[in-house]
Structure 1
Amino acid sequence: MQYLVAINQAKAVEWGLNAQQAMLFAFLHQVPTWADARQIDGHTYFNIGKGKICEELPLLTDKHDTAYRLMKQLAKLDLIVMTSCDNRTYMRLTEKGITWNRSAGSEKSPTHGKKAQGSEKNPTSEKSPSGVGKISDLGSEKSPTNQDTNDHNPNTHSGAGESIFEQAAQRTDDVDTVPTGGARQFPMTLDWQPDPEQLAAQCQRAGLPADTQPAAHQLAKFTAHHADQGRRYGAMAWTAKLVDWIRNDARQQAQQQTQPTGGAHANRQQRNPRRRLSAAEARARDRAIARGEQPGDILDGECTPG
């Protein structure tokens, strides 16, 4: 199967081809590059049968009669010449068919008669009617620009040669410009305090009340924990981590309140108050049952004669 078929829409419209005819001719136009050739009546023909067409163009048709009928239609349009020899179908392109991708209105250079000025493929201007050597205007389709990003003033940050990464490094988490010598990120310190506005915003984002404030012991544990690690974050990032710390601390306290007194070990002791019998106790129980007596429960601390 041929994966790609290049259709010259300009020629297809000019010659009055429908979609099926255009697809088939686009395929037949490439046949001379790979099919078996044969000299017939002084012309070079190429072997291409209707079965091969159905095999290579399953999207076009899977019926041999339809493929043959479409080839006959292209022959009537003076695009190909068909003949048969030794029960095999041969075809060749006509002079008209050879121009499929050679005309001025080809796929590579679509035009309509005289080249139109300012077309999509050949933009021109009054200063350069031919379009050769033309510099695209600012903001054009070929060279989209922004007036602010094309600042030629050497005193601006663009003229100073700074990269976008250097410019971004001079901004804080909330995109406020800081002095050139300032640090965008900083390590945690024991005396750090969150910004009230940033704290309220992060609390709302985390689903907590906007007026949530960390307890003194929570803030102390938070700063001490992160100060030892030495990691660096921006002010907004540190505030977000503090809000997560507060939320996790509240979740742990709620879980502790729902657990029963004594923990899981106490529950296991309540469900299993009795211990397993020793070998001597088991023999005593069996002798009592043999004598017809009802053995009592053996609890911790009881002594059973051997």
Structure 2
Amino acid sequence: MAAQRRSADTDPTPDDLPSCSSLTTKELQQNWQAVKREQRPVRLLFEIPSTRIVEQTLSKHALYEIAVMRSGSFESHRVSVERRYSDFCHLHHRLVEEFEEELEEVLLPRKLLTGNFCPESISERRRALQDYLARLYATRCVRHSPLFASFFTEQEQRRAHGLLRAGQFRPALEQLRTVLDIQEKLLPWQQPTMTVSTLAGLAVCHRDLDEPEQAFAAAQRALPPVRRYGLRRYRAALLELLVDEGYRLGRPVAQLQEELTTLRDAERGEASPRSLKELLIREFI
């Protein structure tokens, strides 16, 4: 009975379908399938479709391409990152420190002592690491952990902030777009605060590339979670960017200006306020 009740809670019923009596049996079946597809939960898949070997002066290593995809939906834009086996080791060590009991049966594929770079070994390792990520994701505490999310984004974030610090805004923008794509896929299992730094970085890059529309849009997306979760260090700097770009675009910014003035008055006597760019650069120093 419990199983039947659960099914009734999640599966569509004939009442959900169009009631038009002129529909044929085939059309009814197609509509039924469409309703079921809409109600299918979206999950993440981790695919490692390729590997490349990087040769350096005294060593070489394999880089595994990891594609993050949503199941149950069609995605025309593919987002992926590259990680070394040592990155997987670092992730596993940190996760085991925090979730030792829960990960007792989730084992990281062992490092090979010989034959690391032959095609057969690389192919086998690729499949094993893909299965490892799937098992991690199936573990609820890991899926909700910031450690799991940072594995897919931290390197790109650091690279983007280094580029931003060097004034290379276009390549920084590309890195940040990859980060945001992955963060949005990892939601809703992560707090929306995880995207604030990324959106702020996008806003800064677009502003310094003289793209005010995109800068305003990115900052506008970042502001609600900053307000909601009390991320005070970002609030005034985001408001300042929104007011400046809003004036350029002819947007109504009176309320934003009032909010900014109130914040600045409250901060009087404290350390000099930093710009959004300064805040972001200091994050990954």
Q: Which TM-score band (shorter chain)? A: under 0.3
More helix, by proportion: 2
Q: TM-score, normalised by structure 1?
A: 0.16
Larger RCO: Structure 1 or Structure 2 (Cα < 8 Å, ≥ 6 residues apart)?
Answer: 2
Structure index of larger Rg: 1
Q: TM-score, normalised by structure 2?
A: 0.17
